């Protein structure tokens, strides 16, 4: 995959769609090529930033902020991503099936081109998922612009008469809305959270620098990390092409898993800590409370893994819950969350909720002064999450409880099980 070519296509379809659509229509493409070189990469953007919003920043409702668990967030992200890829293909089939109704020419590859490039604006706008109300407006604008792109594209790719492009677009969008709602309902069943909330992001974290005539990308920035992931996906895509040509179903499944793992793992395959290994960081007592229960597990799908340990501590009056999670195959997403530099600070008359970086670590704390309930969590090595929640006299007790965990020992394992692809 040529990442520079991808960026150029995104730029052209967004800034000069009227001249870019005829070029797209005349290109010789395949379904496989469109997925490997374009769709697989851009469709990952809303899935990734939705995970950052749901599990790292959290979603606020009437002063209460809800965070999806890391495990649920990863599961929801994978489900959203996979279903998004399916939705693109289904939409292409619908547009192809509608061709005759609107005087257009049936062609599945051209229909897939239409969907993929029209969706570009919506996918790119998915970055704004972390920006709260402003982000919602940006994503809405991205969706509207995608409709406009579809309207411009249909006469070129599907050869429909210009005077029928409006009706063709309208019917296609109705189908897309229905499919989109189904997609969100499925994902919500896994995460239990929405994708909007309040957050801020500094422009310096995006990673672009230039003087008007040239632009460079900071490799340590969010955009730089996305570019690196894109390059790794190109390498994984070549392996998938070989697997496709071989006709070996097992090889194809393995290559597909590697492709998805590249998106989530930041270009590396990661074996999450074994249950016994992560359970070793769960202490017998926490904040003076005795441990009353403990569990640990490691789950995997399509060659990707994540593990977590959970424990409850109680003295009959006070109860604390400890969760230690190894994001495993999604460590690349955690690194991206840190690079984005997300920050949130919400206050009400009965508490606060904020997300910030401290000593290079992503930290989240939430406290309710009325119920004396809160949570404090920290991300270690762009891979591990440690969270303590429950009733306490103050947020400082929860902070101290997290601090009593062997954080340095856990962070030292950030490269364990990591294999570069």
Position 385 scores a pLDDT of 86
Q: Residue 6 above 80 pLDDT?
A: yes
Q: How far apart are CA 36 and CA 272, in angstroms?
A: 27
Instruction: Enumerate the domain spans of the chain.
Output: 3-199, 275-420
Q: What is the pLDDT of residue 53?
A: 73
Query: How far is C-alpha 157 from the geometric centre of its chain's CA atoms?
Result: 30
Q: How many Cα atoms are found within 13 Å in the side-chain-facing hemisphere of 22?
A: 3
Contact in structure between 66 and 74 (CB atoms under 8 Å): no
Is residue 394 scored above 80 in pLDDT? Answer: yes
Give the model's pLDDT for residue 409: 95
> Mean pLDDT for the chain?
76
Is the per-residue pLDDT at 356 higher than 60?
Answer: yes
- The dihedral sign for the CA sequence 129, 135, 140, 144: negative
Report how far residue 164's alpha carbon sits from residue 166's, in angstroms, rounded to the nearest whole number: 5
What confidence score (pLDDT) does residue 145 get?
Answer: 87
| pLDDT-wise least confident of 83-92, 206-215, 410-419 | 206-215
Instruction: Say which residue, 183 or 412, is predicted with more confidence.
Output: 412
In this prediction, residue 26 carries a pLDDT of 94
Q: What is the pLDDT of residues 171-215, one digit of tens each?
A: 888 777 766 665 555 555 444 443 333 333 343 443 444 443 344
H-state helical runs in 158-248: 165-191, 222-246
Q: What number is the average pLDDT over the span 240-250?
A: 64
Q: Give per-residue pLDDT as tens, 17-47.
A: 999 999 999 999 988 889 888 998 898 888 8
The answer for residues whose C-beta is within 8 angstroms of residue 288's C-beta and 6 or more apart is 315
Among 57-66, 95-104, 109-118, 294-303, name the one with the lowest average pLDDT.
57-66
Position 153 pLDDT exceeds 80: yes
Q: Which of 76-85, 98-107, 205-214, 263-272 has the lowest mean pLDDT?
A: 205-214
Poorest-pLDDT segment among 127-131, 261-265, 266-270: 261-265
Percent of the chain with pLDDT over 90: 25
Return d(Cα 304, Cα 281) in angstroms, integer. 23
Is the distance from CB of 262 to CB of 233 less than 8 angstroms? Answer: yes
Q: Say what the pTM is.
A: 0.53
State residue 276's pLDDT score. Answer: 94
Contact indicator for 138, 131 with CB cutoff of 8 Å: yes
Q: Tens of pLDDT along 309-349?
A: 999 999 888 899 999 988 776 666 666 555 555 566 778 88
**Residue 190, pLDDT score:** 45
């Amino acid at each position: 995959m040529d990442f520079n070519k991808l960026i150029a296509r995104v730029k052209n379809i967004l800034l000069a769609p009227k001249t870019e659509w005829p070029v797209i229509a005349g290109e010789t493409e395949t379904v496989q090529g469109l997925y490997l070189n374009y769709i697989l990469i851009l469709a990952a953007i809303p899935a990734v930033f939705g995970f950052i919003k749901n599990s790292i920043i959290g979603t606020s409702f009437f002063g209460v902020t809800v965070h999806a668990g890391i495990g649920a967030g990863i599961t929801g992200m994978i489900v959203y991503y996979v279903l998004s890829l399916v939705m693109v293909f289904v939409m292409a089939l619908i547009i192809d099936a509608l061709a005759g109704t609107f005087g257009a020419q049936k062609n599945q590859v051209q229909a897939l081109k239409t969907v993929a490039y029209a969706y570009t604006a919506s996918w790119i706008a998915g970055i704004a998922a972390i920006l709260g109300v402003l982000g919602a407006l940006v994503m809405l604008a991205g969706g509207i612009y995608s409709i406009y792109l579809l309207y411009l594209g249909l006469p070129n790719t599907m050869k429909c008469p210009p005077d029928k492009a409006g009706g063709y677009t309208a019917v296609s969008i109705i189908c897309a809305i229905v499919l989109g709602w189904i997609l969100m309902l499925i994902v919500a069943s896994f995460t239990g959270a929405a994708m909007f909330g309040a957050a801020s992001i500094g422009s310096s974290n995006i990673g672009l620098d230039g003087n008007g005539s040239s632009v460079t990308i900071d490799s340590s920035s969010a955009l730089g990390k996305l570019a690196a992931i894109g390059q790794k996906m190109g390498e994984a895509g070549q392996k998938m092409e070989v697997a496709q040509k071989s006709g070996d179903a097992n090889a194809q499944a393995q290559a597909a898993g590697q492709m998805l793992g590249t998106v989530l793992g930041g270009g590396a395959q990661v074996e999450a800590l074994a249950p016994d290994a992560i359970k070793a960081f769960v202490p017998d007592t926490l904040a003076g409370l005795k441990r009353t229960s403990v569990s640990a597990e490691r789950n995997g799908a399509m060659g990707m893994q994540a593990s977590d340990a959970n424990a409850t501590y109680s003295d009959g009056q006070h109860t604390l819950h400890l969760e230690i999670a190894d994001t495993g195959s999604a460590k690349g997403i955690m690194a991206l969350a840190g690079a984005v530099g997300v920050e949130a600070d919400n206050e009400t008359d009965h508490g606060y909720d904020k997300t910030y970086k401290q000593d290079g670590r992503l930290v989240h704390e939430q406290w309710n002064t009325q119920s004396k309930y809160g949570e404090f969590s920290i991300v270690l090595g762009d891979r591990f999450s440690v969270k303590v929640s429950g009733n306490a006299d103050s947020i400082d007790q929860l902070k101290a409880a997290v601090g009593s965990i062997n954080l340095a020992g856990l962070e030292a394992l950030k490269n364990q099980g990591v294999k570069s692809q």
